[in-house]
Amino acid sequence: QVKLAESGGGLVQAGDSLRLSCAASGRTFRTDTMAWFRQAPGKEREYVAALSWTGGRIYYADSVKGRFTISTDNAKNTVYLQMNSLKPEDTALYYCATKQFGEREYAYWGQGTQVTVSS
């Protein structure tokens, strides 16, 4: 069992930055994949960024490349999403999720943290 807790969301203006955090507890492995997803009202969930605890297998959606950075602090069992140059279209509920290496589906999800970017 893994528990994930996101934090760091908020209301910002276009062009601002935010850093989201996802603290993981429970049974985690260095080869697990940690990911950030987001979902805006009326839209499908979007896969934003992912990496393994070892720092490998990094992925970014085209919509955030060059603006968002995913990273880990293994000592704190925490994954971060640094979001720069935020746009109104980045407004969404951001979720952290994890899956074991080789699994297709993300088995554990956090409750989400809201990011709202005003123009």
Could you report the per-residue pLDDT of 38-88, keeping only the tens digit for each? Answer: 999 999 999 999 998 888 888 999 999 999 999 999 999 999 999 999 999
pLDDT of residue 73: 92
Q: How confident is the model at residue 98 (pLDDT cuts 50, 70, 90)?
A: very high
Could you report the per-residue pLDDT of 14-32, keeping only the tens digit for each? Answer: 999 999 999 999 988 888 9
Q: What is the per-residue DSSP string for the chain?
A: -EEEEEE--EEEETT--EEEEEEEEES--TT-EEEEEEE-TTS--EEEEEEETTS-S-EE-TTTTTTEEEEEEGGGTEEEEEE-S--GGG-EEEEEEEE-TT-SS--EE---EEEEEE-
